[in-house]
Amino acid sequence: MDTVPADGLLSASWLLIALPLAGAAVLLLGGRRTDRWGHLLGTGTVVAAFVLALACTLQLDERQVAVDLFTFIDSGSLDVRAGLLFDPLSAVFVLLITGVGALIHVYSIGYMAHDPRRRRFFAYLNLFVAAMLLLVLGDNYVALYVGWEGVGLASYLLIAFWHERPAAATAAKKAFIMNRVGDVGLALAIFVMFAQLGTVTYEGVFGSVGLLAGGTVTAIGLLLLLGACGKSGQFPLQAWLPDAMEGPTPVSALIHAATMVTAGVYLIARSAPIYDLTETARTVVLAVGAVTLLIGAIAGCAYDDIKKVLAYSTVSQIGYMFLAVGLGPVGYAAAIAHLLAHGFFKAGLFLGAGSVMHAMDDQVDMRRFGGLARKLPVTFVTFGLGYLALIGFPFLSGYWTKDAIIEAALDHGGAWGWVLGGVAVLGAGLTAFYMTRLMLMTFFGRARWAPSAPGRPTPHPHESPSVMTSPMVVLAIGSVAAGFLLVQAFPLDEWLTPVFGEPEEAEHVVAPALVGIVVTAVMALGVLAAWLFVGRREVPAVAPERVSVVTRAARKALYADTINESLFMRPGQWLTRALVWVDNRGVDGAVNGMAAALGGSSSRLGRTQTGFVRTYALGMLGGAVLVAGALLAVTAG
Amino acid sequence: MNSFPFLLLMIVVPAVGAAVVAALPRGRDLLAKQIALGVSLVVLLLAVLATVAFDTDGDRFQLTSSVSWIDDFGVSFALGVDGIALVMLLLVGVLVPVVIGASWDDEPVGNRSMTVFFAWILLLEAMMVGVFAATDVFLFYVFFEAMLVPMYFLIGSFGGPRRQYAAVKFFLYSLVGGLIMLAAVIGLYVVSANQGEGSFAFEVLNAIDIDPDVQKLLFLGFFVAFAIKAPLVPFHTWLPDAGAEAPVGGAVLLVGVLDKVGTFGFLRYCLPLFPDASRDFAPYVLVLAVAGVLYAALLAMGQSDMKRLVSYTSVAHFGFIALGIFAFTTEAGTGAVLYMVNHGIATGLLFLVVGMLIARGGSRRIADYGGVAAQAPVLAGVFLIAGLASLALPGTNSFVSEFLVLVGSFPTRPVFTILATVGIILAALYVLLMYQRTMHGPVRGLMDGQGLTTPGTGEPTAPAGSSGATSATATATATATATATATATETVTSARWMPDLSRREIAVAAPLVALIIALGVYPQPLIDLIEPAVAATVDDVGGDPGGTVPEIGTNGADTSGAETEAGN
């Protein structure tokens, strides 16, 4: 389908980005004057953007609409325009970002009410929304890259929001650096596209990518994948995401669960015409997805920090999405559907976790929770619905969207199909286990509440104010309904047809009904196991030391940090120290030595200023004589 | 309008201003500052008007004027600008008033007078304008050397504890380079004389053909001088010393403008005058460039002194610029020139904000700071913006130039480009490490106790190699160190509140912050200025001035011909 110029309301779709950006600018430049109403302005801009996004989407009618703004960089044969592309794919992302974004802004009004820097928090959140919208609305890879690093900055600022805590500052830096590793891949992919095709627009690249040699296309695919892995916390760049939980919980919900970390899925889905041409790159995407979904699920089983469990769950669920996009045309729509459903239930789960922390004096250790169901009824019910949606309880969101991915994986065919399907089913069982463990440790059993620090009172849990619970209720409704709506009622794959082409009816290796039954059974096993291991017994206040090798590895998230540190960080520090020594002694020393040999000693040369000025004058004189002599010689000769 | 002597005035006005300021009696510091600021603003206005008068579709050199100077040798006082020189003049015009504002409250070292400081700054401005505006190679050489004098005194008289050592080192390096260049300048004259009438005029020299072997010698003569000035590894070790010891205002002009004369020289002289040699030597230059990107970035990470760190980051950035110049494509060359401007703005701001921090904490050591963001959020915010511009985050000006350099170099030099691209990870590391250590975390270090008594004098313990310091200064420093250390240990418990930026400091930083954002979002006007001159240079050196023409796949089908044509 061809792209048409924007008309009517759609030509104002740049306002989607401009509104939150203006909000951020006013809040940051306005200073303390905006303290009293800053949060309202911040929320207002995102709500307005959501309304505009709804109106734009209704006008879209399955078209692909281009909005040309201005020349960004035009030099030589490179022409990068600031242009937007509003099509069915970007529309669903825009709705997700502004919709969930608006709810989380509302929630943050309550959550950050007592923080002296609340205004700045809203400024950064607005900045994030603007950058994220640019990422999904740009009509070329450079615009995507600008948004891509823009959300990275917002993520950095928000993880380090409580920057007095060294852990938060370090986590923010780690996130930025690991993302930059991925960004190198994305940047190189853009360079290859420009060098080979002379263009970086989606339209131009997709139109002519077929003319390239297979190896080049594969290289582009793999480089894009590297970028996607960095942003989406996928293997081998997954270690930053759990650490990012140092940020305030609304940030975890919006950026590190619902939107930013799914940008990698967007990138690959958007680049579908490239991946369609390279089986190799697709296979690597599949492998990355499968490996990551297991790593995340295994680590999720072992952590006691409620936010880290949810973070590893996010890593794992995005692994499902990567698996789906790696399958090619049959998986794109399934991946996006799971992404949207995940956006609802995971954001809801994080907001619920924030509500629990709010009640428990900002503690996150689930071993000190327990019995909160009765104290926090709204949180319990909304969190519970999100939990059921995530583990794939029949007919809730996760059931529809995850089953679609598992079916598609099995349909991939052959041994590879069985492996992928098996991994996905196993992941579903593990998901049920770690989420049930989380529910049991948090909401059920005996209350194990304890002071957050010596001298603090033991927390007296209370339900959060309605400004916080209302967004949780809305997201819970979404968690229940989104899957059915997206898969059955208004099939997403039909909506996305203009982008991904007609959905094809795959040959089923295993009957869908059977898949549904098996997955549900495995899920039930996971729940049962969690009840047997956690629910039946008393939860120890301190994590047991004597555990199996597997548990120990899971607690270390399969040693990802250890590997990074011993492979990159420590050798890097050693190299830096060695080079500093070399530069001071070697390079500089050689030059100083040369100077000493030529002009006596450098110390004598520079001992006194007057002496030096004489030297200088002498030098100038000598130079002038030299010039005059040479010129005379030349003209005379 | 074109006959109006913009360029001459831009040299004369600050030179006269310098003389007036220097002639002021001692103690009239305020008047000196006011005159200096006024003069520098006039120069900025002239630069802006010159840009308005400049026609991007016109001749390569515009606003030209020429007065015969030394008739016998064909030397003339010839001025003129192409787009490359013009944007450098704009950079000079912007940075000098900012530097004067930033140095407004500086205390002189010892009993020196600050009026002299401002006089040197103005004289330096005149020389910097001259070096970019000269279209006569001999005149260029004169400005190139004369520029050293004010900078030497700025470092040597107003710098940190090791200022003597740093100033001499700076001077010796530059002098050696300059002398080698002088030999090449003379050689160039000889060559032109052999082919007709001897001349130093750039356009005459550009037109003649030079024997390839002679080209190589002459190229090297110019190249060494420029590689020292815009330090490429391994000629870089003077910069960390000079950058660290120079007063902050001097450091901004040193790294922001003075060093760009080197990269400017590559583009203006090396490539057009010696195209064959440039092509022959390009791989070696690129090795130095990319080595600089990676090596200097790693070194920056290992620094404990903030000003040295910023100096090393500049060495890394010069590597990017050299890569863009020696990739011989219009995109990369345009990116390199834009990089020269953007680096002046971004690193200038970084130096300024580091200076503001040092003025508060009294130390250059990173370890002496911590948790500043909690106390001085505006300072931390400006620091972050400068840092993000330094790591070329999209949305800041540096992204555009770095992207253009890399995307333009990739088609001709993929391996070097890939290596340089890895440098963007290192850039993020050195910026964020410094930011985290100084701005984040709990309040600690010097800020817990009493700072040094003389702000800006920097690292108290002069390393053993500080042979350049006079014995008197060394003693004074040692005494000050002893006292300061004693006070620091005594009062370590009394937390000192670090004040946020003053109105003057905000006024100094604001224009640079605004430029960082504005040029990050809408860089095209500058690109339009720069590109024709770069395309002409790329044409001289045998590249395709219209941009790199991609050939799709192996069949050579060209689908982007229209775009390539448009680039011409």
Nearest C-alpha in A relative to B396: A146
Residues from chain A that touch B334, judged by Cβ atoms under 8 A, are 75-76
Distance from CA of B414 to the nearest CA of A (A): 9
Cβ pairs A/B, distance under 8 A: 238
Cβ <8 Å between B555 and A195: no
- Reduced DSSP (H G I as helix, E B as strand, rest coil) percent helix, strand, coil of chain A, to 5: 75, 5, 20
Task: Assess if residue B1 is contained within a domain.
Answer: no
Instruction: With beta carbons under 8 A apart, name residues in chain B contacting A194.
Output: 407, 410-411, 550
- Please say if the pLDDT value at position B127 is more than 90: yes
Binary contact (A580, B303; C-beta < 8 A)? yes
Nearest CA distance, B124 vs chain A (angstrom):
18
Query: Given this model, what pLDDT does residue A54 score?
Result: 92
- Taking an 8 Å cut-off on Cβ atoms, the answer to whether A78 and B407 are in contact is yes
A138 beta partners: A84
- CA B97, chain centre distance (Å): 16
Whether the Cβ atoms of residue A54 and residue A86 lie closer than 8 Å to each other = no
- Burial degree of B533 (CB within 10 A; 0-12, 13-18, 19+): buried
Q: What is the pLDDT of residues A334-375, one digit of tens each?
A: 999 999 999 999 999 999 999 999 888 888 888 888 888 888
pLDDT tens for each residue of B309-325:
999 999 999 999 999 99
Which of A34, A73, A178 to probe by mutation at the B interface, max B CB count within 10 Å?
A73
| Residue among B72, B335, B393 whose CB faces A153 most closely | B393
Interface test with B, best of A75, A220, A237 (most B CBs within 10 A): A75
CB within 8 Å: B411 and A587? no
Confidence of residue B464 (pLDDT cuts 50, 70, 90): very low
- The answer to whether the Cβ–Cβ distance between B560 and A198 falls below 8 Å is yes
The mean per-residue pLDDT over the stretch B165-194 comes to 88
Does residue A298 contact residue A429 with C-beta atoms inside 8 Å?
Answer: no
Is the residue at B281 inside a domain? Answer: yes
B182 contacts A623? CB cut-off 8 A: yes
Using CB atoms, pick whichever of A187, A576, A635 lies closest to residue B302.
Answer: A576
To the nearest whole Å, the CA of A50 is away from the closest chain B CA by: 24
Please identify which residue in the block is written with the tokens 């690292």: B459
The pLDDT assigned to B184 comes to 92
Is A634 in Cβ contact with B190 (below 8 Å)? yes
Q: A211 and B299 in contact by Cβ < 8 A? A: no
Across the interface, of A77, A181, A588, the residue whose CB is closest to B425 is A181
Chain B residue numbers with beta carbons less than 8 Å from the beta carbon of A595 are 172
Of the residues B56, B139, B144, B172, the best mutation for testing chain A's interface (the one with the most A CB atoms within 10 Å of its CB) is B172
Residue B371: list chain A partners with CB under 8 A.
164
**Phi-psi group of A494: left, alpha or beta (phi > 0 → left; psi -120 to 50 → alpha; rest → beta):** alpha
Which residue out of A77, A135, A190, A222 would a mutagenesis test of the B interface target, given it has the greatest number of B Cβ atoms within 10 Å?
A77
| B387: nearest CA partner in chain A | A153
The answer to whether residue B200 sits within a structural domain is: yes
Question: Whole-angstrom Cα distance, residue B546 to residue B566?
Answer: 8
pLDDT of residue B282: 93
Contact A635 B193 (CB under 8 A): yes
Contact B410 A142 (CB under 8 A): no
Check CB contact under 8 Å for A197 and B404: no
End-to-end CA distance of chain A: 76
DSSP collapsed to 3 states, A450-471: CCCCCCCCCCCCCCCCHHHHHH
Q: If pLDDT is split at 50, 70 and 90, which confidence band does B477 have?
A: very low
Q: Tell how strand A64-75 and strand A3-5 pair up.
A: parallel
pLDDT at A125 (0 to 100): 95
In this complex, do B299 and A575 lie within 8 Å of one another by their Cβ atoms?
no
Confidence at residue B250, expressed as pLDDT on a 0 to 100 scale: 92
Structural domain including B43 reads 6-567
Chain B hits for A612, CB-CB cut-off 8 Å, are 168, 171
Give me the residue from A77, A580, A620 closest to B302, CB to CB: A580
Q: Rounded CA gap, B166 and A616, in Å?
A: 15
DSSP assignments along A161-179, one per residue: TTTTSHHHHHHHHHHHHHH
Chain B nearest CA to A237, separation (Å):
14
Mean pLDDT throughout B57-79? 85
In a domain, B302, yes or no: yes
Contact A595 B546 (CB under 8 A): no
Whether B525 maps to a domain, the answer reads yes
Contacts of residue B56, Cβ cutoff 8 Å, sequence gap at least 6? B83, B528, B529, B532
Which residue of B552, B554, B555, B565 to mutate against A (max A Cβ within 10 Å)?
B552
In three-state secondary structure terms, B516 is helix
Say whether B555 and A71 touch across the interface (CB within 8 A).
Answer: no
Select from A156, A172, A196 the Cβ nearest to the Cβ of B550.
Answer: A196
Q: Which of A217-231, B151-165, B545-559 has the highest mean pLDDT?
A: A217-231
Residues of B in contact with A156 (CB under 8 A): 432
- Shortest CA distance from A146: residue in chain B: B394
Residue A361 and residue A402 in contact, taking contact as beta carbons nearer than 8 Å: no
The answer to whether residue B392 sits within a structural domain is yes
**How many CB atoms sit inside 10 A of residue A183's CB?**
24
Find the mean pLDDT for residues B208-236: 90
Do residue A166 and residue B440 have CB atoms under 8 angstroms apart?
yes
Of A168, A191, A631, the CB nearest to B410: A191
Please report residues of A whose CB lies closer than 8 A to that of B531: 75-76
Q: Compute the nearest-CA separation of A217 from chain B (Å).
A: 10
Q: What is the pLDDT of residue A618?
A: 57
Number of compact structural domains in chain B: 1
From the list A169, A577, A630, the residue facing B302 with the nearest CB is A577
> Which residue from A minimizes the CA distance to B384?
A157
Q: Tell if the CB–CB gap between B549 and A77 is shorter than 8 Å.
A: yes
Tell me which of A40-54, B51-65, B123-137 is least confident.
Answer: B51-65
A-chain CB neighbours of B549 within 8 Å are: 77, 198
Residues of chain A in contact with residue B527, where contact means CB-CB under 8 angstroms, are 73-75
Candidates B467, B521, B551, B568: best to mutate against A (most CBs of A within 10 A) is B467
Residues of chain A with pLDDT under 70: 1, 505-506, 586-637
Is B567 in Cβ contact with A77 (below 8 Å)? Answer: yes
Answering whether pTM is above 0.95, one says no
ipTM summary value: 0.88
> Angle at CA B365, nearest 5°, toward B452 and A586?
130
| A164/B404 CB distance under 8 A | no
A33, exposed or middle or buried, with CB in 10 Å at 0-12, 13-18, 19+?
exposed
B181 domain-assigned: yes
Among B189, B298, B564, whose Cβ lies nearest the Cβ of A576? B298
Q: Can you give the pLDDT at residue A628?
A: 59
Q: What is the mean pLDDT of chain B?
A: 84
d(CA A613, CA A619): 10
**Does residue B90 fall inside a structural domain?**
yes
